[in-house]
Amino acid sequence: MNDVVEARLTLQKDLARHLRAGHPWVFRKAVEKAPKGLAAGAVVDVVEGDRFVARGYYDPLSAIAVRILTREPAEAVDAAFWTRRVQRALALRKELVQGTTGYRLVHGEADGLPGVVADRYDRWVVLKLYSAGLTPHRGRIVEALREALGGELAGVYGRDEIPHDEEDEGSAPEGRVLWGEAPPELIAIDEHGMKMLVDVRHGQKTGTFLDQRENRLLVRGLARGRAEALNCFSYTGGFSVAAALGGARHVVSVDVDRDAIALARDNFRQNGLDPADHAFAAEDAFELLARYKREGRRFDLVVCDPPAFAKSQKAVESALAGYASLNRAALAVLAPGGLLVTASCSARVSADQFYDAVREAAFKARVDLQLVEERRQPPDHPVSPQFREGRYLKLLVYRRAA
């Protein structure tokens, strides 16, 4: 890959300030027309008049024309650059992430590597690139991962780097080995003593939802003394296993993905829990909640962790209605004195909007709630203050008045 700057892109008037402040994206409409034939991944300087503003890589296929890598005019985007950034990301994890063999090693924009996601599962790293502009740099990113982890690393596995929809992190097809050994069909990781089997070849995101790791530990504590628990959108059963390990006598896991439900049963077994003592439903969560309401079923703990409801700005209004509807249905089966653990991973839905959606649900369900805990994403999913878009995960814990 060529290290030299291949073009200078001039910003439209008065648009440099947010880049100097640290925002990592330059939208196509913000720059004058790029030189004809400029390739994906070309290193470009973004300028205001003749003044250097930032340096990044070019993507001809995205509405984000340039993703910023550095604001230092003397810093080259060479092999050493990628190594420095990956090592800096690893240093944060070594300092702040404990008790797990599964964590996010590189979290895109917040780690100074926009579009790059690298998740570690025991001795393997799953690499996912979210821009065509990163494809030419992939080899150097892999080398940087190898250098940072050394003998701890058995292999690097690449998932589909450029989804058809850049918002869609969950539907990538099987990837390929980029270096070292192929990952096993299932990788076993440890989360604070809880075992999790992860399918990094076909699973959601890079295999599982690592951003909910600390919240799964939270649910273990909340489940103590609670007989009946329900996990909606359970995927491979992370919150379900946590609830059972925490003391919930009977846990119901529901997800439309039959393969995920099958793996959830395996995850129970992996933790010495008999799946026969619990229930697993491969069906729509809304339909199951409606049926349980008709049957008069009640649960002492209900977890709602749905996929992103808003994948574009125009979908926010319908997403908020969806969150309100889901939580209203969940409250209809929550026993007095029970706990509702509800989450949103939609970046375009703010914390206040999500809070209001649950408030609306409680009003319509005629239920009195007490907010007892509020959480965001863990330290291996850091947030840059200049990149509000990266502040996506919201989790609220409510108690229904007895």
Query: Which residues belong to the active site?
Result: 345
| Closest among 39, 25, 32, 30 to 8, alpha carbons compared | 32
Residue 339, both tokens: 């706990």
* CA distance linking residue 159 with residue 384, whole number of Å: 25
Residue 250, both tokens: 């009977």
304: β partners: 232, 342
CB atoms within 10 A of CB 38: 16
* CA distance linking residue 127 with residue 141, whole number of Å: 9
Q: How many CA atoms lie within 13 A of 214 on its CB side?
A: 17
Residue 13, both tokens: 């008037």
* CA distance linking residue 74 with residue 85, whole number of Å: 16
Cβ–Cβ under 8 Å, residues 19 and 56: no
